[in-house]
Amino acid sequence: MEHKNNKALFGTGMISAAISTLGFPAFAFAAGESSSTGIATILPNVEETVPMLIAFILLWIILAKYGWPAFSNVIKKRNETITNSLKQAEESRQESERVLAEYKKELADARSEAAEIVAEAKKTGEATRAQITAQAQKESEEMIKKAKAAIEQEKRNAIEELQGSVADISCDVASKLIDQDLSDDEHRKIIERYVKEAGSFHAN
Amino acid sequence: MPTNRHIAKAEVDVYAGTLLDALNNNGGMDAVLEGREQYHDVMMFYISHDAFKALFQGADKTPDMRKKRMEEVMGNAHVRPEVSTILGVLAEKDSLAAMPRIYRAFNSLLASKFNTYIVDVTTRVPLDDHLREIIKNKVSADLGGNAILYETVDPHMLGGIIMSANDKRIDASLDTMLNQARSALKKTNDMEVNARG
């Protein structure tokens, strides 16, 4: 668009130059042919000034009619372009800021979530550790309890066995003493005593 | 033997009564005691010897075969004919397993019919007259009848006395007393151990 406007402006300038050159050829040659001296050198030459003024006015009119609007359009379009660009840049900046904010928010959320996960994992780990510790303690207590019971039972068995052996040995010794040391008369005395002390036949 | 309890008991009583009457008729109380002793010995031998038991068991042995074999064995053992006859009948009827019940019924009948109790006495040393008198007096006092002692000396016995009369038994042997003492001692020890535990 801008390129098109520039092209139109350039065309307008070319048309103005052609008019001034082709419309007033006499003035152009006349200027080349004049030879002034003295003050006349710095004073305007009417023969040259009027045509030039007319040419200027014509040029101004043409430019005002055709050049300026095109130039104005170019400027306007350029202004719009710049405005749009600025607007777009502003929008992009706002979008970037929004995205950045969103990103920051997501990042913060992610950090928060990660912190929560870590805290949860820590909590779970603590609970698991406590559970494992309690379980281990319970199992160890049970093992100790069982071991104590087993030791106690072994002790009882040993004592029972020992005392049983003592009872057996005592009775065996008594048996041997009775077997070897009692005479027939002593046996008979025992029988007599037992018959007298024995319960009744009715009682059985 | 019949499976009905009352019929079986009646049959046992018949065998015991027949044996008692036969022995008494053929020799009085001496024959009764001798026959009782022989019957007891055969019964114990039958219970403790499977080979003897096998002589009368099995489908291949007919009632006649069992009876003849029993009478033959009893004849060789010089058992009284009354006892041999009864045992022969039991073998014929395949009722030898009832011998212990017949023996108990025999003793009961002896007590009820003759007011006499056979007292089986087992001791380590032979009894003297003084001990016999004491034992008879005790049996008379307890059961209210005459006592006839059937004495057995068991040298393996530690001491004391075992008496059985009219299906009742008094074990006053030192062996039993020592075993009781051993059990009581162990039981006391167990209680002490448990109390400590």
- Whether the CB of B107 is below 8 Å from some CB of chain A: the reply is no
> Residue A140's pLDDT is what?
94
Whether residues B128 and A188 touch (CB distance < 8 A) is answered with: yes
B119 vs A29, higher pLDDT: B119
Q: Which of B128, B96, B100 is nearest to B1 (CA)?
A: B96
Chain B residue with minimal CA distance to A194?
B172
Helix (H, G, I), strand (E, B) or coil at B47: helix
Q: Per mean pLDDT, which range of A31-40, A93-102, B72-81, B155-164 is the poorest?
A: A31-40
Q: For residue B171, what is the enclosing H or E element?
A: strand B168-173
> How does pLDDT run across B166-182, given as a tens digit for each residue?
778 888 888 888 888 88
The token pair that represents A92 in the structure block: 């992009």
B4 vs A194, higher pLDDT: A194
* Residues of chain B found within 8 Å of residue A197, distances taken between Cβ atoms: 172
Distance in angstroms (rounded) separating the CA atoms of residues B115 and B109: 9
Share of chain B above pLDDT 70, in %: 94
In the chain, the amino acid numbered B179 is: N
CB B32 within 8 A of CB B110: yes
> How does pLDDT run across A24-58, given as a tens digit for each residue?
554 444 444 455 677 777 777 777 788 888 888 98
* Residues of chain A found within 8 Å of residue B165, distances taken between Cβ atoms: 201
> Residue A126's pLDDT is what?
92
Whether residues B166 and A201 touch (CB distance < 8 A) is answered with: yes
The token pair that represents B119 in the structure block: 């007292």
> Residue A46's pLDDT is what?
78
Say which residue the tokens 């202004």 belong to: A79
> How does pLDDT run across A149-170, given as a tens digit for each residue?
999 999 888 888 888 888 888 8
- Whether the CB of B128 is below 8 Å from some CB of chain A: the reply is yes
Q: pLDDT tier at A176 (50, 70, 90 boundaries)?
A: confident
Average pLDDT over every residue of B61-89: 89
CB B182 within 8 A of CB A152: no
Helix (H, G, I), strand (E, B) or coil at B1: coil
> Residue A123's pLDDT is what?
92
Whether residues A195 and B197 touch (CB distance < 8 A) is answered with: no
ipTM greater than cut 0.90: no
> Residue B189's pLDDT is what?
65
> Residue A180's pLDDT is what?
78
Residue A186 predicted with pLDDT over 70: yes
> Residue A28's pLDDT is what?
47
Average pLDDT over every residue of A91-112: 91
Average pLDDT over every residue of B135-157: 87
DSSP secondary structure code for residue B160 in this structure: E
- Whether the CB of A177 is below 8 Å from some CB of chain B: the reply is no
Helices A2-23 & A68-181 angle (0-180, nearest 10): 170
The token pair that represents A143 in the structure block: 């093992």
Residue A113 predicted with pLDDT over 70: yes
Tell me the nearest-neighbour CA distance from A178 into chain B, angstroms.
7
Average pLDDT over every residue of B141-147: 83
> Residue B3's pLDDT is what?
66
Whether residues B185 and A198 touch (CB distance < 8 A) is answered with: no
pTM of the model: 0.52
- Whether the CB of B157 is below 8 Å from some CB of chain A: the reply is no
Average pLDDT over every residue of B80-103: 89
Q: Per mean pLDDT, which range of A87-91, A197-201, B14-18 is the poorest?
A: A197-201
Average pLDDT over every residue of B84-108: 89
- The count of other CB atoms within 10 Å of the CB of residue B8 is 15
> How does pLDDT run across A63-81, given as a tens digit for each residue?
888 888 888 888 998 899 9
- The count of other CB atoms within 10 Å of the CB of residue B188 is 12
* Residues of chain B found within 8 Å of residue A175, distances taken between Cβ atoms: 158, 174-175, 178
Average pLDDT over every residue of A142-148: 95
The chain-wide mean pLDDT, for chain A, equals 81
